Amino acid sequence: MPEHLLDVENLQVSFATEDGLVRAVDEVSFTLDRGEVVAIVGESGSGKSVSVMTLMGLTRSPNSRFGGSARLKGRELISASEHELEGIRGKEIAMIFQDPISSLSPVHRIGDQIVEQIRAHEEISKAAAFDRAVELMERVGIPRAADRARSYPHEFSGGMRQRAMIAMALSLSPSVLIADEPTTALDVTIQAQILEEFKQLRATGDSGVIFVTHDLGVVADIADRVLVMYAGRVVEQGTLDQIFYDPQHPYTWGLLGSITRMDREPPRRLPAIPGLPPSMVNPPAGCHFRPRCPHEFARCAEVPALESRVPEAPGHSDRCWLELAEKRKRRVINGRIGLAEGTVIA
C-alpha cells in the first residue's frame, strides 16, 4: 500500500474541564495526498478545528488528552516532542486561520511576520527573507507587494490580509496546508478570489490541503473528498460526488437540505435541522445525532461504526444503521435532499 502524505488514524482529543471530560474529537480517521483537497464540514463545535489544530500540536495543554495517531510522511505527530513539532509547524504543515485581522500580530509589519516564519526554519539573511516575502505576496495577488510588505495588518483590507496569511502559510512550501474557515470572515466576492488561489495551489500538485468549513457551497467548489463531522465524530466521508449526490447520513441530508440552490424555486423559509448539537461532556449513548434525528430507531442506541455501507462505492463510508434502500428513499423531500418532511417548510 503506498504511503499517504498524511495518515490520521483513530484520532481522539479530549479536554478536562470543570464540568468533566469533553470529548472534542472521537475516532477521526482520514488520509490526505499531494494535490488533493479534503474538506471537513460540520457545525460550530463539531470538532473540526480541534482535529486539525491537533495535527500541529496547537491543542496541547495540561488539560488535553490525545489518542490515536497522525503520521506525516511516516512521522508521528501526536506523540512528537514540542521541539520536533516546532520544526514541522510552518514548514511541513502550515495553517491559515479564519479571522485574518486577529490572526496577524497588530504590531508587526506584514512582511516581517512572513520573514519571521522563514527565518524560524532557514538560515537566511533578513534582507533575503524579506525579498522572498515580497515575492510570495506578489504570487498571491497583492499589488505593490514591495510597499505593502512594510504595512501593518490594520492598513490592509480583509481580503488582502487573508492573502497575506496565505503568502505566509506558503512561504516554506509546506506539504500540508490547513485552512480553517479561511473564507468565512470575507465578502463573497473576496471569497471567490481566495478560493481561486486555493485552486491554483491544488493545480501545482505540491501540497495537500485540508479545508475546514461549514459552507457547503465552498466545499462543492473546491473539495475532492469530504468529511462530515458531527459532535466530534466523522459521520460520513466520501468523494465530493458521493457526499453531494448520494449522501448516506441523515445529518448530511440536513446540511444539504439547508442550502439554497440557484437552480430551484427558493423555499419561503430555509429548512433547518431542528434542535442543538449535544453536550460534549455527556454525549448521548450510541449515535450522537440520534436526539435530533427523525429517522431514529432502536438500533441507534448502539454506536454505528464508520464503515462502507454502499457496495458499489467502497471509499464511501458513514455511521448510520438505516438500510441503503431506506436511506435513498427517505432523503428525498419534495424532489430534493432533506432531513425530513417536517423540517422543510416550503
Q: Which residues contribute to the site for another protein (CB under 8 A)?
A: 56, 58, 82, 85-91, 94-95, 97, 99, 102-108, 116-117, 120-121, 152, 154, 165, 168
Task: Give the long-range contacts of residues 117-125, CB within 8 A, separation 24 or more.
Answer: 117/90, 117/168, 117/171, 117/172, 118/171, 118/172, 120/86, 120/90, 121/87, 121/90, 121/91, 121/172, 122/172
- Residue closer to another protein by CB (options 90, 278) is 90
Residue 287: which of 333, 340, 250 has the closest Cα?
A: 250
Q: Could you give phi then psi for residue 214, rounded to 5 degrees?
A: -115, 5
3-state DSSP assignment of residue 94:
strand
- Burial (CB < 10 A; 0-12, 13-18, 19+), residue 143, is exposed
CB of 159 to another protein, least distance (A): 18
Residue 145: which of 173, 166, 121 has the closest Cα?
A: 166
- Residue closer to another protein by CB (options 91, 132) is 91
CB of 106 to another protein, least distance (A): 6
- Residue closer to another protein by CB (options 119, 336) is 119
Q: What sign does the CA torsion over 226, 229, 232, 235 have?
A: negative
- Residue closer to another protein by CB (options 177, 306) is 177
CB of 97 to another protein, least distance (A): 6
- Residue closer to another protein by CB (options 111, 271) is 111
Rounded to whole angstroms, the Cα distance separating 224 from 237 reads 11
CB of 89 to another protein, least distance (A): 4
CB of 54 to another protein, least distance (A): 12
CB of 121 to another protein, least distance (A): 6
- Residue closer to another protein by CB (options 115, 227) is 115
Bridge partners (DSSP) of residue 17 are 20
- Residue closer to another protein by CB (options 98, 317) is 98
Q: What sign does the CA torsion over 335, 336, 339, 343 have?
A: negative
Cell numbers linked to 19: 464540568
Contact 257, 271 (CB under 8 A): yes
CB of 31 to another protein, least distance (A): 22
- Residue closer to another protein by CB (options 15, 97) is 97
CB of 208 to another protein, least distance (A): 17
Rounded to whole angstroms, the Cα distance separating 179 from 306 reads 25
